[in-house]
Structure 1
Amino acid sequence: MTLQQLTYLVTVAECGNITDAAERLFLSQPSLSAAIHNLEKEMGVTAFVRSNKGVTVTQEGEELLSFARMLLEQADIMQEHFGVGKKRVPKFCVSCQHYSFAVNAFVEVVKEYDADQYGFILRETQTGEIIDDVASGKSELGLLYLSESNETVLSKLLRKSELVFEELFTAAPHVFINKDHPLADRKCITLDELKPYPYLIFEQGDRNSFYFSEELLSMLDMPKTIQVRDRATLFSLVIGLNGFTVSSGIIDRKLNSPSIIARPLEMEGSMRIGLIRKKNVVFSRYADSYVKALKKHLSID
């Protein structure tokens, strides 16, 4: 097995067929096919199912790809650290729940490593996809929360995916509402007071259960619920419908809206917001900078 073979494997998976991958790699199609076949034979797996339409990654191929991405990333980190080879294009990917402080930290990383070329990715996405992204090596880091209601299920899933959770801070539940909301003058808001208003939650796709919910309350707790996919839509509905959502209480008026305010929610429980990462993997310089920026915005020493 060589790093070159792993690069070939990842490229074929990204392209979805041998022909396009060969063109991207400046190889002949037979040479690329032979290299992939030799890797499959050496590893004892069938990474792809071939057809006239291209290739489909098998289940064991997904597992092999996860290790391939991780090894290639670690090789890049080693070369950057020791200054071997040509100057590399900055690349970094993080997957996170919908937190403004996660965006602020990402902005700082991009500014710090601004160059003629870079490839940065910020994925505000569903909880299950965050775990999948980090497990498969698509993202170097993930950002989500654990609580009493979801920790058992999510921790089991993290262990199965060989991921670890590193807590950044613990937040008390808060309500995000419009500054002109009828409850805006309350110092603390109760669940009963919120029942007449729409509860806005982030949709979780096929994993739409309270274990994967981005909000501390289950959708079953409130009579009116609206599911959305992105933060801008959610805040528009907070303003337009006097809706509310439940989160950490950390809000950024520049990234969100000056019309959105946070109020403490009177309920039991807390949100342990933290990072997920692969076990025993050295962070890239970009991931290190991102973690430092996160702690800065969260005022963590």
Structure 2
Amino acid sequence: MTLQQLKYIVTVADCGNITEAAEKLFISQPSLSAAIHNLENEMGVTAFVRSNKGVTVTREGEELLSFARMLLEQADNMKDYFGGGEKRTPKFSVSCQHYSFAVNAFVDLIKKYDADQYSFIIRETQTGEIIEDVSDGKSEIGVIYLSEHNEEVISKLIKNNNLVFEEMYVAGPHVFISNNHPLAEKEIIATDDLQAYPYLVYEQGNKNSFYFSEEFMSMLDFPKNIQVRDRATLFNLVIGLNGFTVSSGVLDAELNGSSIIAKPLAVDKTMRIGIVKKKNMVLSKYACFYVEALKNHLSID
């Protein structure tokens, strides 16, 4: 097994077509096919199912790709660490729940490593996809929270994907409402106060259960529920419908607007915000900077 072979299978998986992958890798199609077959034989797996339409990754192929991406990323990290004289394109990807501090830390990262060329990715996405992204090597780290209501299920999923959770910040749940909301003058808001208003939550796709929810409270606790996919829509509905959502209480006026405010929720619970990463994986310098930027924004806010 060589790093070149690992790069080959990742490129084929990304392209979904051996001919296209061969062109991208500047090698002949027969040479690429032979290299993949040799790796499959060495590992004792069938990574791809070939057809006239291209290739489809098998279940065991997904596992092989996960390891391949991790090893390639670790090789890049080693080159970054020891190859100080080599000019390399900065690369980093993070998947996160819909947090303003995660976006602000990403902005800090780009400002720190601004260059003629870079490839940075931030995915604000569903909880299950965050864990899948990190497990599959699509993102180096993920940003999620654990609490009393979801920890057993999410922690098991993290462990089963050979990931670890590192706690960074403990927050008390807050209600996000508009500054013109009828409850805006209250110092602390109780769940009973919210019954008359629409509860806005992020839709979680096939894993749309209480355990994968970004919000601290179940939709079953409230009669009016609206599911959305992005942060801008959620906050527009918070303002337009006197709706509310429940999160960490960490807000950024420049990013979310001054019309959204946070009020403590009267519950004796906590949200443990942190990162997920591959077990025993050495983070790149970009990921390390991003983690420190996250800590800074969380402590400032």
**What's the TM-score, normalizing by structure 1?**
0.98
Q: Report matched runs for 1:1-301 at 5 Å.
A: 1-83=1-83, 86-299=86-299
Letter matched to residue 248 of structure 1: S
Letter matched to residue 49 of structure 1: V
Cα distance in 1 for residues equivalent to 2:85 and 2:176 = 49
RMSD: 1.0
Identity across aligned pairs (percent)? 72
Structure 1: 5+ residue runs without aligned partners?
Answer: none
Cα distance in 1 for residues equivalent to 2:174 and 2:190 = 10
Deviations 1:39-94 (A, max 9, x none): 00000000001111100000100000000000000001111111178421100000
Cα distance in 1 for residues equivalent to 2:184 and 2:131 = 35
Cα distance in 2 for residues equivalent to 1:86 and 1:183 = 57
* SS of residue in 2 equivalent to 1:274: strand
Where has structure 1 moved over 3 Å in runs of 4 or more?
Answer: none
Letter matched to residue 80 of structure 2: E
Moved more, 103-112 or 263-272: 263-272
Cα distance in 1 for residues equivalent to 2:105 and 2:41 = 43
Structure 2: 5+ residue runs without aligned partners?
Answer: none
Cα distance in 2 for residues equivalent to 1:264 and 1:86 = 50
Q: Is the 8 A contact 1:79 1:85 kept in 2?
A: no
Measure how far apart 1:269 and its partner are. 1.4
Cα distance in 1 for residues equivalent to 2:253 and 2:9 = 44
Measure how far apart 1:268 and its partner are. 2.8
Deviations 1:237-275 (A, max 9, x none): 000000000000010000001100000011231111111
* SS of residue in 1 equivalent to 2:182: coil
* SS of residue in 2 equivalent to 1:266: coil
Deviations 1:9-62 (A, max 9, x none): 000000001010001001111110000010000000000011111000001000
Q: Is the 8 A contact 1:176 1:245 kept in 2?
A: yes
Measure how far apart 1:215 and its partner are. 0.4
Q: How many residues align?
A: 300
Cα distance in 1 for residues equivalent to 2:255 and 2:141 = 22
Cα distance in 2 for residues equivalent to 1:37 and 1:221 = 54
Cα distance in 2 for residues equivalent to 1:16 and 1:274 = 34
Deviations 1:102-126 (A, max 9, x none): 0000000011000111000000000
* SS of residue in 2 equivalent to 1:298: helix
Letter matched to residue 82 of structure 2: F
Letter matched to residue 289 of structure 1: F
Deviations 1:114-146 (A, max 9, x none): 011100000000000000000111100000000
Q: Is the 8 A contact 1:201 1:245 kept in 2?
A: yes
Cα distance in 1 for residues equivalent to 2:12 and 2:168 = 37
Cα distance in 2 for residues equivalent to 1:24 and 1:219 = 47
Measure how far apart 1:229 and its partner are. 0.2
Letter matched to residue 192 of structure 1: D
Q: Is the 8 A contact 1:200 1:245 kept in 2?
A: yes
